[in-house]
Amino acid sequence: MVVRAADPEFARQFGLSADEIRGSGLLGLLRTSVPARLREQFAALSSGRRRRFTERVTGRDGNGHTFSAEITVTAVGRPSGEVAGLLVLLRRTGEAQRPEKDHEPVLSGGPVLSALDAQVLEGVASGESTVQLASRLYLSRQGIEYRVGQMLRRFDAPNRPALVARAHALGMFAVGQWPPRVLPERVK
C-alpha cells in the first residue's frame, strides 16, 4: 500500500508535495477507528474480491492538525482482470483540529445520535432487553427494535454486542462510567 503517484492537491492535504508523498505508506497517512477493518478492505480490493469501498478516516496536515475525511478507494484493473492499482479519493468532512497532546490518539468524527437513539444505545450497552427499554422510554417493542435496527445498519454491526463494541471503538461512550453514557458531543 505504497503511494506510487499523487495529485498535488491530495498530497497537500498531508502538508506534502506530490514528490514527497510518493513512497509513503497509505495506512501510515490515514487513521480509522477500526484499523483492522481498513486493512481488510484494502486486502479485498487487492485480491479482486471487491471493487471499491468508502470509509471515514482521519489524517494529519503539515501543521500537525487532525482532519476528518472520507476516502473512496477503487480497484483499477488490467484488461486481464488483474488488479493494477488502487485509486484513492479523499474528501475532507471537517475542519482541522489541533491535538491537545501529540502522543494522544486522535478520535475520528464518529456519528452523532438523536437524544432518543443515544438513550436506546445506552440501554443496549447496559444490557437492557427490548421490553425493559420500551417500558423505560415509553415506546413500543417495535419502536425499540426499529431504532436498534437502524443503528445496527448505521454502525455496520451484525448484532447488539457488535453494536456496543463498535460504538465504544468510535469513542461514543464516556470512559469509566457505569451505566454507559453517550458523550454529550455525540448527541444532537
Which pLDDT score, from 0 to 100, does residue 12 have? 85
Separation CA 82–CA 182 (nearest Å): 45
pTM for the full predicted model: 0.48
Return the number of other C-beta atoms located less than 10 Å from residue 110's C-beta: 19
* Core vs surface per residue 34-57: b (16+ CB within 10 A) or e: beeebeebbeebeeeebeebebbb
Q: What is the mean pLDDT of the chain?
A: 82
Is pLDDT at 132 greater than 90 in this prediction?
yes
187 SS3 class: strand
71 backbone φψ class: left, alpha, beta (φ>0; ψ -120 to 50): beta
pLDDT tens figures, 72-83: 888 887 788 787
Which set of grid coordinates corresponds to residue 20? 514527497
pLDDT over 70 for what percent of the chain? 91
Which pLDDT score, from 0 to 100, does residue 118 have? 93
Angle at 157 between CA 134 and CA 166, to 5 degrees: 90
123 SS3 class: helix
Is pLDDT at 98 greater than 80 in this prediction?
no
pLDDT tens figures, 30-72: 887 777 788 888 888 888 888 888 888 888 887 777 888 888 8
The one-letter amino acid code at 166 reads R
Domains of the chain plus CATH, in order, are 8-92 (3.30.450.20), 115-186 (1.10.10.10)
pLDDT tens figures, 156-170: 889 999 999 888 888
